[in-house]
Amino acid sequence: MTSDPFFLQPGLDQEIRPGKDGSDGAFTCACCGLPSPGAGLPWTGPSTGVGLRVCQVCNLLQDTSRAAIDAEAMLVWWPEMSQSRLMFLARTAHQTLRLMARQQGQSDRQFWETILKAIPDPLLGTQFSPSFRTPMTLLRLLESRRAEAEHRLQSGSVRQVTTAMRLCGSADETVRRNLDLLRAGLRILPTGRLLDAGADVYPAFLDKALALTPS
């Protein structure tokens, strides 16, 4: 029994590869399975696997009670989809959006913010070229289960929900059953922001990730 509501089951296909330029290493994330820049962060979650490493995005799952989490992730209700699959889809969609933005010469942070704002608001999305539509629609679909999570939990805050779940006394059989039910359907969906000392480092992360895969 874990006290962490958002544990995942890392895959076993992780490997460390040398980076393209021979200096900056790359590896395959043990959670989303995507080629990722750097050496990754050690997975300390309850799923077994010594030496598993995850990318910066999947690392969000490791501490869902920290201050910035509600800007970086939201709760969605997706019992049909594994957490690692959701991470794969979200990061792939974000990478595609970043690639298209750059191809249009729009690599500044402000444009990235505009893209993110247009995801929950399809009217704002009409300002983008048709090539943005597919990844935006995918992200909208993934976000569409946000309301269901909020309805079930009476809160949309990852931080609040994590704290509440950790405080639950699991000695009670009914409480334990309810917690298991929530864990079975609750997922974390990255918003497209990764904050480091208040600055969004996600666009830079995506640029490095894109450099690893031929487009």
Interface pattern 5-44 for Zn ion (x via CB under 5 A): ------------------------x-xx------------
Radius of gyration of the CA atoms of the chain, in A: 18
Crossing angle of helices 109-118 and 83-103, rounded to 10°? 130
Q: How far is the CB of 84 from Zn ion (least distance, A)?
A: 8
29 or 165, CB closer to Zn ion? 29
Report the Cα 50 to chain-centroid distance in Å. 22
Counting residues that bind Zn ion (by CB under 5 A) gives 5
Of 8, 26, 55, 165, the residue at the interface with Zn ion (CB under 5 A) is: 55
Go through 94-116 and write b for each residue having 16 or more CB atoms within 10 A of its CB, e for each that does not. bbbbbbbbbeeeeeeeebbebbb
Report the SS3 class of residue 95.
helix
Q: Which is nearer to Zn ion, 182 or 194 (CB)?
A: 194
CB of 52 to Zn ion, least distance (A): 11
Given the rule CB under 5 A, which residues bind Zn ion? 29, 31-32, 55, 58
